[in-house]
Structure 1
Amino acid sequence: MYSDFVTKNQSSVTQIESALRSLTYIIPGRFRDAELASESLHSSIQLLSMYHDTLLTRAISKLPGMPRQQTPHNRYTKFWIQRSTFYRRIATLLSMIQYTELLWEMAAKRRGEHIRWRVVVILEAIKAVCRLCLLKITNLRPLVTPPLPEREAISEESRDETPDDEYSDEGLSEAPKDIKEYKMKRTGLTLPALPSPGDISSYLLSRVLTADDIKAPSTLLNTVSGSAQLAELLHILQPLIYSIAMARNRDKKNWQPWLLGLSIEYAARQLRNDGLRTTTLEKSEWASRGYKMGMWAMRGAFYENVTKGLLHSTSQRLPSLIAGILEDYLYLWDGYYFSTSSN
């Protein structure tokens, strides 16, 4: 019953999730004594969203008719989830840790800094093991983020389809509501309504197959070897090495851990191969990793020596409401490792 409710009210469920998630973003540390409760709410929403994604993915797979067009990321991750139960379990475990890691750190910090850093290192070690397992399962193909399929929308027409509707089309959601479908007298089947003249171009472009659409899902990422394999291993182990260096370092303004972590990440980026056979999904993943390197400006010694002072001086010039929200985030960035983690 719950699965049917989520499937039939996908848009409403998504809006509620977004509203609750935005609420936790707006007041991350406003009630500092209740930060654990606030983060528990945020983690619970993320876990519930992940469960909803699973229900919607299962519902989409049962829809009749021709296969739906999917993003390369979803095609690739769905392929491995269906092929390997171990991949699905490891990817689910990795996602759950990423959604709850800040909550674990907050709980551990209440028992002291030593316990806190021990928990941080353990979580990074578990994530590294999970990523190494995913690398092995996929036959040395680069990791994708997130490791699970992302949520897809279910149109009203697709939801109401039956196996006898041989001429049904999921793209009819763009057709005008006042145009009725034509029902054939002899067979009783219905023909889909045509799109409005202003939507013909977008209607046709949405049905154009690209090279990635006809590739086997396993070929959307190339296997890595040589220097590219070393680059992927460095990318996986870098958070663990950085967390160990931070745990052993007592001075937040010491540049050694920050330079070590950034150097490993930069070396991993330089060692990867950008050949002619680079796929669209690979380019998207490399671009995402490049953007995440900007988070190093919010971590370690660079944050303590440079960014922190700039943000504090900026907050004094902003309106009180915006400054209050920024100061709440400064409280998180100052005290927690996973608040600025990008892995």
Structure 2
Amino acid sequence: MLVHKSKQSINTRWRWIAGLESVKVLLRLVLFYATNKRIVIHPTHFARGDEDNKINLATLDSRIGIPSSSTLSGSLQRFGWAHVAELLWIFRPLIYVGLMWKQSKKKSTKENEEYNNWKPWLISLGIDLAARLARELQPMTRLEREESRRRDYLLLFYLFREPCYNFFTKPIVDMFCDATEHRPLISIFAAALNDYRPFWEQYYFCTSGS
């Protein structure tokens, strides 16, 4: 589900987003503790396994929710700081949305004033990095390492979130598109980039990384 900035009032929009993130947090907590504190692996649904160059529908291990026919090792119980790391990762999206909702209320009372508050962005990034460091304090299986790399990749979304996007990424994208607008071949990529820009500029879930 995508929530557009111009279709709903600011308060209503963030209320819906906060509600959806709350549901996601609850479901992830259920998965985490139902699997005896194991890392929540993405995706949690049926996957196709490759065995002897034949593609077969894998059967999920009901204990950890991964294909039992996979050659990867399963995930292990998280304890200590690694346990805290998983909780930080689960709650971070909701904390970020809560901070953004709070800031949006301040924004609505200060018309004609540029809104570029770094507090939600910095706190969210700090939580993600703390979870990343704490996760490394416990050895990980190959499957967990792949999930950790996937989460590291999601950190790139911070470049497309306000206010970092307005101050840093957007000027670079503008400069690139302007410089390549009339160049052969690369102008096609620039045009495609411009076509996709409204999605990360106007929709929250395109850059949530959650």
TM-score, with normalisation over the residues of structure 1? 0.49
Gaps spanning 5+ residues in structure 1: where? 1-100, 154-169, 174-211
Question: Does 2:26 correspond to 1:129?
Answer: yes
1:244 alignment partner in structure 2: 98
Separation of aligned partners in 2, 1:112 and 1:328:
25
1:223 counterpart SS class: coil
Measured after TM superposition, the shift of residue 112 of structure 1 is 2.2
Q: CA RMSD in A?
A: 2.4
Q: 1:288 to 1:171 in 2, by over 3 A?
A: closer
1:282 counterpart SS class: helix
Larger Rg belongs to: 1
1:6-40 superposed Cα distances (whole Å, 9 cap, x missing partner): xxxxxxxxxxxxxxxxxxxxxxxxxxxxxxxxxxx
2:65 alignment partner in structure 1: none
Separation of aligned partners in 1, 2:143 and 2:174:
39
2:23 counterpart SS class: helix
Q: How many residues align?
A: 181
Q: 1:318 to 1:233 in 2, by over 3 A?
A: same
2:30 counterpart SS class: helix
Measured after TM superposition, the shift of residue 295 of structure 1 is 1.5
1:312 counterpart SS class: helix
Separation of aligned partners in 2, 1:315 and 1:242:
31
Structure with greater helix percent: 1
Q: 1:334 to 1:252 in 2, by over 3 A?
A: farther
**4+ long deviations beyond 6 Å:** none
Choose the corresponding residue for 1:315, options 167, 170, 177.
177
Separation of aligned partners in 2, 1:114 and 1:256:
19
1:291 alignment partner in structure 2: 153
1:270-323 superposed Cα distances (whole Å, 9 cap, x missing partner): 112444x52111111111111111221111211121111111111112245433
Map of 1:154-303 to 2, 5 A cutoff? 171=52, 213=71, 220-249=74-103, 250=107, 252-275=115-138, 277-303=139-165
Matched to 2:148, the amino acid is W
Matched to 1:238, the amino acid is R
Separation of aligned partners in 2, 1:172 and 1:220:
22
Separation of aligned partners in 2, 1:172 and 1:302:
45
Matched to 1:147, the amino acid is T
* Identical counterparts, % of pairs: 33
1:330 alignment partner in structure 2: 197
Measured after TM superposition, the shift of residue 172 of structure 1 is 8.3
1:180-219 superposed Cα distances (whole Å, 9 cap, x missing partner): xxxxxxxxxxxxxxxxxxxxxxxxxxxxxxxx84x8xxx7
TM-score, with normalisation over the residues of structure 2? 0.77
Question: Does 2:168 correspond to 1:306?
Answer: yes
Structure ranking higher on relative contact order (CA contacts 8 Å, 6+ apart):
2
